[in-house]
Structure 1
Amino acid sequence: MTQDDRGTVNTATLTIADPSPETPESAQPRKTKRPYLYQVDLFRIITFACVVLDHVTSGSTVPDNVASNAVQTLLHFTRLAFFALTAFVLVYQSARKPFSARTFWRRRFMLIGIPYVVWSVFYWAYSIVLGNFQEPVLHALWRLVIDIATGEAWYQMYFLLVTMQVYLLFPLLLKLLRATEGHHRWVLAVSGALQLGFLYLAMHPPTFTGFAGQIWAHIYAVVFAYQFYVILGAVAAWHLAAVDRAVKRFGPLLVLGAVVAGVLSVWDFLRSTAHGLPPWQGSNVFMPHLIIFFTLIIAALYTLGTWGTANQQPGSLKARMLSYGSDRSFGVFLLHPFALQLIAPWIIPMGNAIGTLWCTVVVYVSVMAMSLFGAEVTRRVPGSIWLNGRPMVRTDFRALFGRRTAEESPAPEKTPAA
């Protein structure tokens, strides 16, 4: 994978509980919250694991390695899956209740905008350290401004920039869904046609100069490049009951279709490289035919998540593990390039000693462990909300040495009405 083939992240969190009780003092109708979707947690965890694997595979091999690029051809689904997931979660949370764009923007941009700036500054400073402080001060400061504007502070940061564009446009997307109720299949059809048109231009780029040329050079950081997957996720959430019926009825076919599409995508990649196409170019995420595989793998992952969380009980060990993995995934996403860079000096010697495959496995396990440790630390320090978009986790050390007595145990909190 090249450095602009990055993974993705969704910081939207499903905090869904049981129906709220009626307020005794009023005659208000019963207010309910939609069920918690454990399959979304599993979807997010699997996709984040693949993001790390994508970058480790790229970082452990040379750019013209055919086997590595074949694997990356499949792993590039991650960015599209996360944009679909972002829209899915936002629509699931907002579609059936009053919506305020101002409130939505204020909350969302605080939860992701501040971490975006903080981590952009961190990676900008880290690049200065890697350059042995040779960069002139004014040049470095101007580069920071450009990095924040373009998402180039490090190779994964652009995803947060695109996510904020989704947030910015979400009120319009919600209005579009409501205005076209009953015609969403046509909305998807038009969106798919526009996506294919963009993919053709991406593989046959026009000649732009000046400001337009700069925009096109950073098109991977513009939401229009992924609009079909955003609309796909939004429409899926709007018609969730129909989606779940389709998964129940056609789930095995969706999974099989994703496997077949993946095999054919790799076959096409190998055929193209055999005819002289550079491997790094053959695995380009904007290859038009890959839209079929990406769409099917998104559906297959949701299907597998549904199967894997069927009859999930709140509070069970599995539910807590899913919640933990989903919560820490954002921190892992932000930190794993830093962990990979720390290991980088030992990758080539390790590959020469134990082979590329085993080197990739060792690096992957190491990067995941380091990133998870870092994510855990950043969730437990003051300022966690600015680093992860989530409040600081406070450790109850008494729980480490035994259960609380009944007198010590706090009363269970009631589910808020809204």
Structure 2
Amino acid sequence: MVSIEILPQERANIPELMLVRAMAIIGVLFVHSTSFATMNMMNSNYFFIYNFFNIFMKIGTTTFIFLSSFVLFYNYYSRPLNNQLLRSFYKKRLLYIVLPYLVFSVFYFMILHYAYYPDRSLSMEVSNFMDKVLTGKAYTHLYFVYINIQFYLMFPLFLWLLKKYPNTVKWAIPAGFALQWGFFLLNKYGLDTPVSNRGSWSFSYFSYYLLGAALGIYYPKIKEWIIIAKKNVTAVRLLSWIVLWACWLIAGLTHVYLFYETRLHKASFNTTLFDLVWNIHGVLTVLVLMQTAFIVTKKLPKALTNRIARLGELSFGIYLIHPFFLFFYRQYPLDTGTAWLLHLWYIGGFGLTLIGSWIVVDFFARYVPFSWIAFGNMSKPVKRSIDQGTLAKKLDA
């Protein structure tokens, strides 16, 4: 998710993207820390709260995919596509993305082996491990890195196409939806044996990827619409902002409602409806989060904004390691019938996951040489003000 890259011929920095990353990783932590509660707290009067955070915040993966594409096309579209660029691009992805992916695949494989399968021969498990690594299944959350690797393999093709035929950029967004939904419908109705792990394949996220590509290329032209500020207000823009946020809330709450009825009342809905509502919710969320980031930059104290930005800078490492804290926290479930203690236990899981992951990754970034092997290319904290645009340029990985 985060790797540092100083580029020649850079376009203007967008430090607010670090805030979007921070909000995305918070969403990931909410979803993962409430997953057990949505199963174990169904008899609670507060189940709707757990269900809300588990579904409404289900925007981390899709937002990170959008950000990855947005930053890549924003930075690379104006640069010559040659062998030097491709070598540099893939070298960085190999070192700062693929290598950490392999490290944490081994890390979680060893944890699971010794926690659940200590009697199995480790040598016999190697082939099973290799299969999981090659399909993004070494641990539940690593599918995201697997998806991004697929996008990186395709990035030069899309970059070449959009550069050679600039008129195709305006069709990138509808093409993304067409490719994604073509894959969904083909998998559901056209294949004799549907793809079982559909969410681990890049075609499931093409609407976000090509939305990021189009907005990254067009950003200098559309930033006045994205940034909600008095100087940018027109009647049309104001109406479009209101419509965007209203549709986002409606889509998000509908998404929550579908899961609430399914989980609590065993209601049955067409799976395509879930896909549609989540797709709308996810796409609108990335736009809302970008606007929110600019609002936060202006409204919150600089010190607090910089701390949030630091969370965004470390988001890749936090994403990789946070299930480790949840895994061990859940080894000691709270055995009590006191409702408020159970609620505190679930809140504690979120707090430990956020704070523990943040401390560990920040410590490695500050003090441990070669920490990029495990956590990707992270920056040490620097004295800067986010609204002055002095954050180092980051590439999503």
TM-score, length-normalised on structure 1?
0.77
The match for 2:346 among 348, 357, 360 is: 360
Alignment of 1:300-319 (within 5 A): 300-310=288-298, 317=303
2:250 is equivalent to residue 263 of structure 1: no
Q: Give the corresponding residue for 1:150.
A: 135
Structure 1: 5+ residue runs without aligned partners?
1-9, 17-30, 400-414
* 1:148 Cα deviation after fit: 1.1
- Distance in 2, matches of 1:341 and 1:74, equals 23
Task: Classify 1:227/1:87 alpha carbon distance in 2 versus 1 (closer, same or farther; 3 Å).
Answer: same
How far apart in 2 are the matches of 1:263 and 1:45? 22
Letter in 1 for 2:16: Q
Counterpart mapping for 1:364-403 below 5 A: 364-379=350-365, 380-390=367-377, 393=380
The 8 Å contact of residues 14 and 36 in structure 1, kept in 2 or not, is answered as: no
C-alpha separation in 2, matches of 1:298 and 1:394: 26
- Aligned residue type for 2:80: P
Work out whether residues 45 and 329 of structure 1, in 8 Å CA contact, stay in contact via their aligned partners in 2.
yes
Give the aligned partner of residue 44 of structure 1: 21
Structure 1 match to 2:172: 187
Deviation string, structure 1 residues 224-265 (Cα, Å, up to 9, x no partner): 111111111111100002331222434444223211221233
Q: Distance in 1 between matches of 2:5 and 2:311?
A: 14
Counterpart among 4, 11, 29 of residue 2 in structure 2:
11
Cα pair 1:112 1:389 within 8 Å, conserved? yes
* Alignment correspondent of 1:340: 326
Identity %: 22
Q: Distance in 2 between matches of 1:319 and 1:384?
A: 25
> Which residue identity is paired with 1:354?
W
Q: Distance in 2 between matches of 1:317 and 1:70?
A: 30
* Separation of aligned partners in 2, 1:129 and 1:188: 46
TM-fit CA distance, 1:393: 4.8
State how far apart, in whole Å, the 2-side matches of 1:311 and 1:262 are: 25
| Paired position in structure 1 for 2:202 | 223
Q: CA deviation at 1:102?
A: 2.3
**Over residues 138-179 of structure 1, what are the superposed CA-to-partner deviations in whole Å (9 max), with x where a residue is unaligned?**
321112211211111111111111111111111011112223
Q: Aligned in 2, Cα 1:203/1:338: closer, same or farther, shift over 3 Å?
A: farther
What is the aligned partner in structure 2 of residue 288 from structure 1?
276
Q: Equivalents in 1 of 2:331, 2:270: separation in Å?
A: 28
Q: Does 1:298 align with 2:275?
A: no
Aligned residues: 365
Which structure would you say has the larger Rg? Answer: 1
Task: Provide structure 2 residue ranges, at least 5 long, that are not aligned to the other structure.
Answer: 229-236, 384-391
What is the rounded CA distance, in whole Å, between the counterparts of 2:337 and 2:188 in structure 1?
33
State how 1:106-255 maps to structure 2 within 5 Å.
106-131=91-116, 133-201=118-186, 206-208=191-193, 216-247=195-226, 248=228, 249=237, 250-255=240-245
Q: Distance in 2 between matches of 1:14 and 1:253?
A: 36
Measure, in 2, the Cα distance between the counterparts of 1:368 and 1:350. Answer: 25
CA spacing shift, 1:320–1:76, aligned 2, 3 Å: closer
Structure 2 CA distance for aligned equivalents of residues 38 and 167 of structure 1: 23
* Contact 2:316–2:375 under 8 Å retained in 1: yes
Q: Which amino acid aligns with 1:52?
A: L
For the residues of structure 2 that align with 1:73 and 1:53, how far apart are their CA atoms? 9
Deviates more, 1:49-58 or 1:138-147: 138-147
Given candidates 69, 85, 103, the residue that maps to 1:87 is 69
Deviations 1:330-381 (A, max 9, x none): 2211111010011103334267553554332221112212111221233222
Secondary structure of the corresponding residue to residue 331 of structure 2 = helix
Superposition RMSD on alpha carbons, in Å? Answer: 3.3
1 or 2, which has the higher helix percentage? 2
CA contact (8 A) 1:203 1:286 kept: no
Q: How has the CA–CA distance of structure 1 residues 285 and 218 changed in structure 2, closer, same or farther, with 3 Å as cutoff?
A: farther
Q: Are 2:37 and 2:346, in contact at CA under 8 Å, matched by a contact in 1?
A: yes
Aligned in 2, Cα 1:348/1:319: closer, same or farther, shift over 3 Å?
Answer: closer
